[in-house]
């Protein structure tokens, strides 16, 4: 079996649908550009039946990045699948991702359907999706709370119906690594090379990354994840953590992805500027403190040799030199570099205003400005700029 693990990014779908994370189409396009630079294998751009905005975003991302595989989500219904297929019409490498819940608790209380009905609907949905696209993924929602025999039966049936990827989500973050690994191992063995087994873990018990890795060790070859781990409730599996674990601990986990690790931090920063919150300061890889050494003993060791307290070189994830603080003595150049690394490409005029405000604040400070604060100033300037140009347009109309 190949050691290549495919990264299916769902920041723009599962991530975007969670509180405080809405993005409009231009914002999704900006984020998609960074995700493409990051080297994700698949971009899930939306759930077209859910809203016109999602439909438009799938269409726009498909047109803007024709060389990238673009996925659209659909329930196992004709209406959903037709809508997804239509949104993907411009895509050169479209994937319809269709799903239905398979656990008894969802069947009984949510769907009010029998196991046989769900199996029949899953098969029919995959067959219908295949009339539009060659690449169909099927997800058994709440797979980890589904009876394993029934789950295996559904997986085999959807593959026979034409699904190329079978995803077994831990929808409610219920599973633990050993258990999830065993489930994935069983399904991977049963499907052999007829389909790629995919994983999609939520982080309700803080195990999304650990569960995804256990799955890979047991035969999964696609991981669904999001930047900064955003997503429903406690979020999805964090893309940056998965990518760096596989890169840094290749000795124990000999698998590889196409992720360009230097793009991780810029992607995280851009996302934070588009939604209403950033990662917590102590978040691995992309948090503001992820590479800060504060305690005396740590600082002492670090200054003697970085490897004493640093297992990831900040530059390898795109954290710019000296990212933590930029002081009043920092020049325009350093400020511009920092802004670019934070995902801001300011015009010359905006940069002039930014520099003036930055030095004014830095002058009053002893400690300089953190990246977060610099990003905040830049956001204000960009927003003021767009409001001004909108008012100018209204005045001109």
Q: Summarize as ranges the residues that interact with ligand KIV (CB under 6 A).
A: 14, 99, 139, 141, 167, 169, 171, 200, 202
Binding to Zn ion in span 92-111, by CB under 5 A: none
103 binds, among Zn ion, ligand KIV, none (CB under 5 to 8 A by kind): none
Q: How far is the CB of 105 from ligand KIV (least distance, A)?
A: 13
Q: How far is the CB of 147 from ligand KIV (least distance, A)?
A: 17
Contacts of 237 (CB under 8 A, 6+ apart): 199, 200, 201, 202, 203, 208, 209, 211, 212, 223, 224, 225, 226, 229
Contact segment (CB under 5 A) with Zn ion among 10-18, 57-65, 120-128, 287-295 equals 10-18
Residue 44 interacts with Zn ion (CB under 5 A): yes or no: no
In the complex, the smallest distance separating the C-beta of residue 172 from ligand KIV, rounded to whole angstroms, is 8
Kindly tell me which of 28 and 200 has the beta carbon lying closer to ligand KIV.
Answer: 200
Is residue 170 part of the contact set for Zn ion (CB under 5 A)? no
Could you say which of ligand KIV, Zn ion, none residue 99 binds, taking C-beta under 5 to 8 angstroms by partner kind? ligand KIV
Distance CA 347, CA 77 (A): 47
Smallest gap from Cβ 176 to Zn ion, in A, equals 18
Instruction: Name which of 9 and 14 has its Cβ closer to Zn ion.
Output: 14
Using rule CB under 5 A, residue 14 touches Zn ion: yes
Residues 57-70 as b/e (b if ≥16 CB within 10 A, e otherwise) read bbbbbbebbeebbb
Provide the β-strand partners of residue 75. Answer: 99
Q: How far apart are CA 116 and CA 298, in angstroms?
A: 59
State the minimum distance, in angstroms, from the CB of residue 91 to ligand KIV: 19
**In the complex, which residues of this chain contact Zn ion (CB under 5 A)?**
14
């Amino acid at each position: 079996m190949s050691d290549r693990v495919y990264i299916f990014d769902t920041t723009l779908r599962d991530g975007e649908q969670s509180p405080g994370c809405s993005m409009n189409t231009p914002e999704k396009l900006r984020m998609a550009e960074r995700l493409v630079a990051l080297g994700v294998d698949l971009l899930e751009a939306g759930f077209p039946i859910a809203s016109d905005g999602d439909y438009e975003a799938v269409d726009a991302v498909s047109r803007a990045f024709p060389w990238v595989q673009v996925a659209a989500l659909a329930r196992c219904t004709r209406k959903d699948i037709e809508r997804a297929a239509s949104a993907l019409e411009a895509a050169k490498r479209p994937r319809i991702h269709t799903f239905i819940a398979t656990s008894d608790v969802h069947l009984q209380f949510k769907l009010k359907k029998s196991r046989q009905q769900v199996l029949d609907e899953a098969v029919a949905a995959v067959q219908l999706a295949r009339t539009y696209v060659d690449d169909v993924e099927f997800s058994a929602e709440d797979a980890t709370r589904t009876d394993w025999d029934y789950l295996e039966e559904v997986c085999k049936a959807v593959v026979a119906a034409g699904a190329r990827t079978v995803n077994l989500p831990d929808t409610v973050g219920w599973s633990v690594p050993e258990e999830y690994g065993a489930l994935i191992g069983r399904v991977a063995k049963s499907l052999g090379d007829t389909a790629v087994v995919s994983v999609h873990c939520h982080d309700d018990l803080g195990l999304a990354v650990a569960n995804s890795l256990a799955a890979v060790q047991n035969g999964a070859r696609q991981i669904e994840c999001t930047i900064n781990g955003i997503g429903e409730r406690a979020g999805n599996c964090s893309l940056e953590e998965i990518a760096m674990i596989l890169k840094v601990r290749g000795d124990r986990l000999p698998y590889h992805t196409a992720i360009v690790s230097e793009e991780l931090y810029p992607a995280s920063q851009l996302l934070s500027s588009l939604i209403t919150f950033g990662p917590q300061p102590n978040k691995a890889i992309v948090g503001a403190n992820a590479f800060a050494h504060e305690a005396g003993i740590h600082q002492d060791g670090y200054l003697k040799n970085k490897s004493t307290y640093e297992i990831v070189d900040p530059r390898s994830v795109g954290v710019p030199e000296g990212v933590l603080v930029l002081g009043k003595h920092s020049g325009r150049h350093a400020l511009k570099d920092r802004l670019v690394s934070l995902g801001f490409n300011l015009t010359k005029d905006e940069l002039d205003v930014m520099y003036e405000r930055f030095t004014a604040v830095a002058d009053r400070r002893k400690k300089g400005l953190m990246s977060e604060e610099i990003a905040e100033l830049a956001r204000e300037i960009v927003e003021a700029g767009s409001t001004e140009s909108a008012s100018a347009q209204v005045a001109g109309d």
